[in-house]
Structure 1
């Protein structure tokens, strides 16, 4: 019984442990720097008598946000995570865990310590190279993961309980043979498709709209002609690159940096080498003897190693790119010298140094300005922390951004109008904005007249913004956007007429018209593709997925249409041929599909069982506590 349970649970155990390790190694989730500040010991939710504490929720949410940041990059903010309702997914998982815990308590489910120990010993991360459990490695991995043995044991025990609870329900899943065969035939049917593109050119010129049409289109599409909200802002910028322009390193410092970094300004020695690799030292000694007696390298390599001239060429190499022993010998030999034999795991090497290109280093005069600028930038970056402190003192004392910038010799820039996307009133990007992704989103949430947060820039500095005035979004007058309205009307009219023509063309083909004739009438050249499958077949890559789907639902000779991927036209397709799939001819394929379906059914059964348990135990969400935790961070930053 326990062995059967272990077999079913092992994948759960390894999965959850590896997930913990992945997040822990990458971002250190277990201590400190949580998403929310510590809350009182309240309850977020309950399943029966099992509680989900505020602390458990905040730790789990913080872990999930950081996992997403690791996958998507640091630009993915906590605020974005909350906007995507990550917190809802976290709460759902915690409710699932609590349901298992409540069921285990109610039904008296227990997992023997011996089984937990065996599961731990079976985790590859805790095993030595022979596959045996290594206690020292076990402790080392836990330390690296910042995880205690008790925490790991609790996690594994919970997953084993889950397997006990849901295993019988999932184990009852079965796939009727007729279901697998029917789905196999559906998935593996292949079709050949004729197609062509109905382009706007088939319509001829689109006329200019009259005033009534212009006015109607303008009124029906106000969003397209509405100017976004613009804000006038003031930015105080501490940019190391700008500060560096006022910093002048001494010549002694530049000379010292040159000596320290000389390796960066040169090219290493390079050698052109030919070689032959032989099986035994005796053969290699014979090759060296022949070469030292004046033998031609290519001829000897052909005779003793059956190598062509091309096979002997290693090309031009630098030190450290060859096997260690060969590398050492090849870079110790003189130009033109025969070297070897040298043994490596590949065999016995005999080589010749054809050409040596000596290492070179650029003189300091050539890299002087580069070093000067780099030293100045380093010095500027080292000043940033002190500048931040001085600025905080200035602002705390009531100074404006303008006054503080003048006293600290920092750049202050005023932007007359910028939208949330960083564009000006002409729709062009505002030049010179600091590379600080959170800057504009923050300013477009801020009230006027208040300084924003100090935000780090990608260049190693920081920026503080202030909203001076706000110009709300407003519908532009028709006279200002007449050209855009006309272009929009013509584009919409083109799509409308093209859609009607496509529908007529499809109807004509379905009524018996040849697709080649339909393509010729539209000034298009037809193509043929297939046979291919209905889903995910690369052979249909040129066709819109919607068209492929539609053509797998109609009979041979019938047609359908769908917009082209680039939205420049509509693609018309018709079924040229159908190749039915025979489940009886691929018993193994049907068997694999049946197993996949069984696993899917098992997951569904486990889900139904869990839903029934939740209904039986009862779930309570403490919305006030939950909402306070979600909103807590925002309030703390105001």
Structure 2
């Protein structure tokens, strides 16, 4: 939640463009009393405002797109809904509307000039070289994020209204300077040490103990040698994938499917777009530039000399009608190749558009995509047929027919699975095996499930034929495993024991760690001057070394385990933090933001009760029918 406050207070632009946080610090949920919109088609109503299905869908799609940068391109809406991202998007939109509604009630308004000035001053839209507003960067950000220009401008206006409230709430908050200095001193203290790893070859020859000791180890570490509960089951499955190749397809069905899916096989017209852009108050300059172009002037020359634009900014790239800025769509796609438009006004100014190249729409023929279409028809028919087969299987089971006979009558696959262990997959030949595994361990011996369905649509029924309880494996069956485990534990014990003795010789007898390392035929390593976070450690040093250094007194040593190695570590130096003026400022900022978070959360909780909020789950379910928001 602290990140949400930080994002809100520092950059409303990043929040709008990337939709990462919105106002995610809102802790309250959407309770039952808020779910009451009757037959309204809106997703939510907040005072005099509303959230339309289109607004929610666009915001949710942006959230999904952002998550793909984390989880990869295959991250889809269903996964996002399962992770709660849809609910978070709804709550973020509601939170924004609540603050805006409150701002309206308080008479807070933001002029067009202030909105424009705020956008132009945003560092994210400025040229890295000149520091000036870069129109191309701004437009490309809108294009890639799925915002129309009016939508973005109004988003900035609304958030500026909300920021007025946020600023008034947070303005008087101060963080204690002495606390910030103490935290900064704690964080910035540095320590360095020396260490060496024991020679592991010295502990290679561990003798095998007698069986009396091994049997005792077997009993003392029973969990290590215990077989998990296992089950023998009979599983019947019905899957559309198993039926696909049995489906017959006619030419009429193929043609109908092709026509239905025709948009998939169309590559829309694309146009290379260039623009000359003048500021909102430069209409006359835009008209003069248009006249010059009509007189034969070169487009790029006019852009450079009259509008002061670099060629790289003039060339916007290639667009389809769906991904170009909506305000420029009609004029752009009405131009002939090589032609330019009259000046067109948007909230950003006056645009002259040129289309130097057009790639015509392309449609793949049925013959070119026949294999794909036929496979699709077969899948559709198989998925349709599976409903009737599942109903037949359910009817047979309901009539008392044994599972094997019922499965055979319905054409279901039957398999016997032995020694199934909780949490494991059921094998490559069984789809959604882990889901089915979970159901197996909900049942008792002799019990049979109802007709169940997995997340991918596999229908199944499972019967528990036998249960083998969890039990300690007999010593004779695992003797070799017991020997290996005992030796490993003994090796570790001996190494730690020796390392403890060496550390004690440093602590109690002032032994020299370098001499001890040489005696053990080991290399002495310097940790580097590091902070508690590990910053400053040498590249070949484990973070466990830094953590241990901050538990020692200066000049003292300790034995630690790092991976497979056992180390003897000595603290050589403690360098106290020298807190100069300004060093505690980041801590003060964090403390202030944390206090802001608490105040804002309480204020939004108050507004929830003061401003009418209604969320329409029916509209959300209709928008996302596969998985409903909770």
Q: Same fold (TM over 0.5)?
A: yes
Query: Shift in Å at residue 420 of structure 1?
Result: 1.5
Q: Which residue in the other structure is 2:324 paired with?
A: 322
Moved more, 221-230 or 509-518: 509-518
User: Does the 8 Å contact 1:438/1:455 carry over to 2?
Assistant: no
Rate the CA distance shift 1:208–1:296 in 2: closer, same or farther, 3 A.
Answer: farther
Deviations 1:315-364 (A, max 9, x none): 22222323223232222222222334222222222333232222222222
The one of 335, 338, 341 aligned to 2:340: 338
Q: State whether structure 2 residue 205 is matched by structure 1 residue 207.
A: yes
CA distance in 2, matches of 1:360, 1:590: 56
Q: Which residue in the other structure is 1:194 paired with?
A: 193
CA distance in 2, matches of 1:563, 1:203: 16
Deviations 1:363-407 (A, max 9, x none): 222333333333333333344554444323212322111100111
Map 1:356-435 onto structure 2 (within 5 A).
Answer: 356-422=358-424, 430-435=427-432
Rate the CA distance shift 1:439–1:74 in 2: closer, same or farther, 3 A.
Answer: farther
CA distance in 2, matches of 1:197, 1:287: 75
Rate the CA distance shift 1:222–1:27 in 2: closer, same or farther, 3 A.
Answer: farther
Rate the CA distance shift 1:205–1:496 in 2: closer, same or farther, 3 A.
Answer: closer
CA distance in 2, matches of 1:291, 1:525: 76
Q: State whether structure 2 residue 105 is matched by structure 1 residue 132.
A: yes
CA distance in 2, matches of 1:25, 1:176: 40
Map 1:4-403 onto structure 2 (within 5 A).
Answer: 19-21=28-30, 125=98, 128=101, 130-132=103-105, 184=183, 187-188=186-187, 190-194=189-193, 198=197, 202-203=200-201, 206-207=204-205, 209-210=207-208, 212=210, 215=214, 217-218=217-218, 220-279=220-279, 280-403=282-405
Deviations 1:289-330 (A, max 9, x none): 444555444333222233333222212222232322323222
The one of 480, 493, 497 aligned to 1:496: 493
Rate the CA distance shift 1:459–1:124 in 2: closer, same or farther, 3 A.
Answer: closer
Q: Which residue in the other structure is 1:97 paired with?
A: none
Query: Shift in Å at residue 529 of structure 1?
Result: 4.7
User: Does the 8 Å contact 1:202/1:523 carry over to 2?
Assistant: no
Rate the CA distance shift 1:218–1:340 in 2: closer, same or farther, 3 A.
Answer: farther
Equivalent residue of 2:443, what SS? coil
Deviations 1:47-96 (A, max 9, x none): xxxxxxxxxxxxxxxxxxxxxxx9998699xxxxxxxxxxxxxxxxxxxx
User: Does the 8 Å contact 1:544/1:562 carry over to 2?
Assistant: no
CA distance in 1, matches of 2:323, 2:461: 49
User: Does the 8 Å contact 1:127/1:133 carry over to 2?
Assistant: no
Rate the CA distance shift 1:507–1:282 in 2: closer, same or farther, 3 A.
Answer: farther
User: Does the 8 Å contact 1:229/1:470 carry over to 2?
Assistant: yes
Deviations 1:419-457 (A, max 9, x none): 12326xxxxx63333416553244235333331233221
Q: Which residue in the other structure is 1:551 paired with?
A: 549
Deviations 1:197-237 (A, max 9, x none): 737x6445622643637945555434333332322211111
User: Does the 8 Å contact 1:292/1:338 carry over to 2?
Assistant: no
CA distance in 1, matches of 2:552, 2:381: 72
Q: Which residue in the other structure is 1:578 paired with?
A: 574
Rate the CA distance shift 1:411–1:71 in 2: closer, same or farther, 3 A.
Answer: closer
Rate the CA distance shift 1:591–1:292 in 2: closer, same or farther, 3 A.
Answer: closer
Q: State whether structure 2 residue 451 is matched by structure 1 residue 454.
A: yes
Moved more, 378-387 or 463-472: 378-387
Q: State whether structure 2 residue 564 is matched by structure 1 residue 568.
A: yes
Q: Which residue in the other structure is 1:141 paired with?
A: none
Equivalent residue of 2:255, what SS? helix
User: Does the 8 Å contact 1:228/1:474 carry over to 2?
Assistant: yes
C-alpha RMSD of matched pairs (Å) = 4.8
User: Does the 8 Å contact 1:265/1:361 carry over to 2?
Assistant: yes
Equivalent residue of 1:320, what SS? coil
Moved more, 225-234 or 281-290: 281-290
User: Does the 8 Å contact 1:436/1:458 carry over to 2?
Assistant: no
Unaligned runs of 5+ in 1: 1-13, 29-69, 77-121, 135-174, 424-428, 603-638
User: Does the 8 Å contact 1:194/1:575 carry over to 2?
Assistant: yes
User: Does the 8 Å contact 1:75/1:437 carry over to 2?
Assistant: no
User: Does the 8 Å contact 1:418/1:430 carry over to 2?
Assistant: no
Rate the CA distance shift 1:539–1:368 in 2: closer, same or farther, 3 A.
Answer: farther
The one of 424, 440, 443 aligned to 2:440: 443
User: Does the 8 Å contact 1:231/1:416 carry over to 2?
Assistant: yes
User: Does the 8 Å contact 1:196/1:572 carry over to 2?
Assistant: yes
Rate the CA distance shift 1:325–1:131 in 2: closer, same or farther, 3 A.
Answer: closer
Equivalent residue of 2:30, what SS? helix
Query: Shift in Å at residue 465 of structure 1?
Result: 0.5
Rate the CA distance shift 1:15–1:278 in 2: closer, same or farther, 3 A.
Answer: closer
Moved more, 221-230 or 207-216: 207-216
CA distance in 2, matches of 1:26, 1:197: 64
Q: Which residue in the other structure is 2:460 paired with?
A: 463
Rate the CA distance shift 1:541–1:381 in 2: closer, same or farther, 3 A.
Answer: farther
CA distance in 1, matches of 2:445, 2:479: 33
Equivalent residue of 2:274, what SS? strand
